[in-house]
Amino acid sequence: MKRIILASASLRRKALLEQIGLKFTVDASVQEDTEFVGQEPHQLAREISLKKAESVANGYPDAVIIAADTFGVIGNRVIGKPHSEAEARAMLTALSGKSHTVITGFTVLDTLTRKAVSRSVETTVYMKQITKSEIETYVKTGEPLDKAGAYAIQGLGAVLVDKIEGDYFNVMGLPLYALTEVLKEFGVNVL
């Protein structure tokens, strides 16, 4: 089997791949998340994930690279990770009592053949009405600061989520079902 490289520093993505038993090496992409104004969100997510995969591909002559990018969309606005407590508060206030979508774009790239498949998955998340006190308490935990949309569904942020429609793992940053289906095209089978 080819060597598998996860082009991400995300501890959540690492844990998800470990959960399904994949043997892989982490080589975090140097590709910065870039804002593309006016681009359709699914296309944007796939494009960023492809750039992340390509940014590490040259270091591996015969490997399968997995890269991903996750962000939220509320209305027509893409929301990434907050850079400050103030941004986290603003994001959580905007999400309170509303639904939003979480989109993850992922790319699987074979460095020998240069075959690349990029897909995107969307999950709808319904947030409860969050009080100012709850937002303040949650922001002070620090959890929202490195999470797309300013919450972690797999952490304390779970208490802010009323329900979801779609892939739970997508909200964590890696849609496992869709990814494993694409990996089969590259000769990588989980089961």
Run of H or E residues at 102: strand 99-110
Q: Is residue 179 part of a domain?
A: yes
Residue 87 reports pLDDT greater than 60: yes
Long-range pairs for 162-167: beta carbons < 8 A, 24 or more residues apart: 162/126, 162/127, 162/128, 163/126, 164/123, 164/124, 164/125, 164/126, 165/123, 165/124, 165/126, 166/121, 166/122, 166/123, 166/124, 167/121, 167/123
Dihedral angle, C-alpha 159, 160, 166, 168, nearest 10 °:
-50
CATH number for 82:
3.90.950.10
Q: Is 69 a catalytic residue?
A: yes
* Range 14-43 average pLDDT: 83
- Number of compact structural domains in the chain: 1
Q: Is the pLDDT of residue 34 over 60?
A: no
Q: Is 118 among the domain residues?
A: yes
Q: N- to C-terminal Cα distance for the chain?
A: 14
Residue 56, both tokens: 């590490």
Q: Which domain range does residue 146 map to?
A: 3-184
The answer to the question of residue 167 being in a domain is yes
pLDDT in tens, 109-134: 999 999 999 999 999 999 999 999 99
What's the pLDDT tens digit per position in 57-78? 999 999 999 999 999 999 888 9
In a domain, 81, yes or no: yes
**Active-site entry in 27, 33, 62, 69:** 69
